[in-house]
């Protein structure tokens, strides 16, 4: 049975990006269903796949998994030969802490700088709350890189689920031209060089749907 990942617009969906880039980077085969956002029929269409009426959702036969982080955990269990999480126990614990912090936090940054893969790079002034989110993210990335990143350019050396969880932040920092350190820029460049990242952007550019709210931010 082929896995099916149900997502919304690649141009604007941070939550959909996370499992998509994970599956694409690690070569996990799946079929993709894209449901356009912000339409009268959107919730009803998503409800055919997910009880929350929100995306993403992963369909594996009779099993449905929703929420990005839950999907990633399901994939890690389903494909144990793939290092979706770091192999080292301590590194894995930190990776999961960071992934959960991202899943539930940084609301100021989310609201002020929505995910937007079609917006030209243009600086946006940050308020104090957003600047605090940026500082915490940079500190978290720097700590992971210092402790476990010697083996490669990502948070834990090789690309893992923690990087997937923060991938939308890379888009935000880049798109809104956020002032960050050289080390942060180097990490962002590594993410943005991934074939899976480029494939996501190509998909976003090919979508026929546009949403004024996001395009005018």
pLDDT tens track for 164-178: 999 999 999 999 999
pLDDT of residue 163: 98
pLDDT of residue 207: 92
pLDDT of residue 61: 95
Class of domain 89-198: mainly alpha
pLDDT of residue 217: 76
List, by residue range, all CATH 1.20.1050.10 domains of the chain.
89-198
CB-side neighbour CA atoms (13 Å) of 194: 26
pLDDT of 69 > 90? The answer is yes
Q: How far apart are CA 65 and CA 49, in angstroms?
A: 9
Average pLDDT over residues 63-77: 97
pLDDT of residue 212: 78
Would you place residue 215 in the very low, low, confident or very high pLDDT band (cuts 50, 70, 90)?
Answer: confident
> At the topology level of CATH, where does 3-81 sit?
Glutaredoxin (3.40.30)
List, by residue range, all CATH 3.40.30.10 domains of the chain.
3-81
CB 94 within 8 A of CB 155: no
pLDDT of residue 1: 61
């Amino acid at each position: 049975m082929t896995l099916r990942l149900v997502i919304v617009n690649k141009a604007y969906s941070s939550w959909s990006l996370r499992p998509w880039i994970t599956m694409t980077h690690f070569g996990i085969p799946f079929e993709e269903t894209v449901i356009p956002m912000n339409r009268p029929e959107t919730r009803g269409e998503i409800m055919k796949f997910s009880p929350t009426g929100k995306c993403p959702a992963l369909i594996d036969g009779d099993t449905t998994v929703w929420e990005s982080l839950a999907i990633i955990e399901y994939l890690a269990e389903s494909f144990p030969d793939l290092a979706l999480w770091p192999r080292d126990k301590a590194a894995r614990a930190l990776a999961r802490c960071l992934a959960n912090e991202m899943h539930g936090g940084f609301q100021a940054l989310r609201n002020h700088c929505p995910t937007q893969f079609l917006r030209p790079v243009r600086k946006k002034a940050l308020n104090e709350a957003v600047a605090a989110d940026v500082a915490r993210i940079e500190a978290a990335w720097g700590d992971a890189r210092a402790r476990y990143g010697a083996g490669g350019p990502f948070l834990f050396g090789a690309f893992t689920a923690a990087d997937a969880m923060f991938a939308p932040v890379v888009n935000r920092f880049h798109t809104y031209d956020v002032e960050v350190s050289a080390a942060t820029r180097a990490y962002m460049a590594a993410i943005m060089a991934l074939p899976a990242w480029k494939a996501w952007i190509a998909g976003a550019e090919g979508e026929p749907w546009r949403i004024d709210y996001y395009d005018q931010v």
